Amino acid sequence: MNLEHMEVRRQEGLYETLLNAIPSSVLLVDRDLRVVLVNRNFLEKGRRAAEGTLGRRLLEVFPPEILDHTRLVRRIQSAFDTNQASTGEKITYRAPGGLMRIYYYRVLPLPDQETVEFAIVVFEDVTEQERLMEAQLLQAEKLAALGVMAGGIAHELRNPLAICSSSAQFLMAEDITPEFRRECAQKLQDGLRRASSIIEHLLKFTRPSEPGDHVRLDLLAALKETLMLVADQAKIQNIHVRARLPEAPAFVEGDARLLQQVFMNLFLNAIHAMPAGGNLEVRVETSLHQVSVQVADTGHGIAASDLGNIFDPFYSKSIGGKGTGLGLPLCYAIVKQHGGAIEVESAPGQGSIFTVRLDWSQDPMPQEQP
């Protein structure tokens, strides 16, 4: 073995040691986009064998459904040509075992004297950071929704409490008949049950979702609970709410609280779009494989120039600056997380129709759900 070959082997060993010390998944590629080295993290995370990766072209290692080949090649070529790190991109990957993971990848040049012969492709697992950020945004949106509904909630609680107060005053009187006493006691009990139900719905809505909360659920029940929470707010703003729901349950796989957040945001957006009153209609249609929920309003509508941006974070056109710009992006993310789709039809002065499509679950309903 000559000295030049020994030096090459020494450098390869040094590169491999450095790559294995990096906590992210790393691949070293040459100008032909062939994988020269991979680190231990990449092999362990992907449950791969080094023999099945080394020497292969990078585009063969990552199929196009995982990585956009055109953008990947452009980034690697830019690193070779400019000797500068390229901007990164987030990708979603279904890891062995079925778990969805979120990675952020970027490309960095590995300089070798005056020319760049190799590039490093780094994949950083940001799944937990993304989930934590999403959970925090969801809680912030829930609190914002409760703030918007504060007047309606207060009105909804005040009515049963007023009945309880009147009934209690009558019960303290000594000259009432046994029949009237029973009637007052029944009204007192009904009012307390109603107030307790309102509080229970609020607590269920505000409770953070936990990982693994996806179960088979009746989407209609989640819709009815959410409509109950916004009903009084709609009355205050002179908005007539109409729900056209099928009699049979509509089962989907998902997290009831996350789906309630989607519909809460859509309902409140519709209410905001009708400051002078109007109609809010919720329609549910089921087919062999799909459940569709339409939320239609008669509000001011959305301009064509804005329709392509409404699901972008912090893009808000709410009247009076009431919107955070996060409601619809969160709706989009939650629906996508459930394997569904969300669409919108709107025009200025003609109202808006948001449609959420989710896969129908045909399995028998379990006896108990967590």
Domain boundaries, the chain: 3-125, 131-359
User: In which element (H, E) is residue 217 found?
Assistant: strand 215-218
Does 356 or 119 have the greater pLDDT score? 356
Does 289 or 18 have the greater pLDDT score? 289
Q: What is the pLDDT of residues 226-235, one digit of tens each?
A: 888 888 888 8
CATH class of 131-359: alpha beta
Decide whether 3-125 matches 131-359 in CATH topology: no
- The DSSP bridge pattern shows strands 239-244 and 35-38 to be unpaired
d(CA 351, CA 262): 19
d(CA 242, CA 116): 65
One-letter identity of residue 329: P
Q: What is the pLDDT of residues 327-364, one digit of tens each?
A: 787 788 788 878 899 999 998 989 999 999 998 876 54
Write down the CATH superfamily of domain 3-125: PAS domain (3.30.450.20)
Q: Mean pLDDT in the chain?
A: 77
Backbone angles phi, psi at 218, to 5 degrees: -85, 110
Say how many C-beta atoms besides its own lie within 10 A of residue 191's C-beta: 20
Categorize the per-residue pLDDT at 218 as very low, low, confident or very high, splitting at 50, 70 and 90.
very high
Work out the percent of the chain whose per-residue pLDDT is above 90: 15
d(CA 334, CA 329): 9
**Is pLDDT at 79 greater than 60 in this prediction?**
yes
pLDDT of residue 51: 62
Does 225 or 213 have the greater pLDDT score? 225
Backbone angles phi, psi at 248, to 5 degrees: -80, 145
Does 48 or 352 have the greater pLDDT score? 352
pLDDT of residue 368: 34
Closest-CA residue to 103 (of 118, 88, 86): 88
Does 26 or 92 have the greater pLDDT score? 26
d(CA 263, CA 141): 12
**138-147, 254-263, 307-316: which is most confident:** 254-263
pTM, two decimal places: 0.51
**Is pLDDT at 193 greater than 60 in this prediction?**
yes
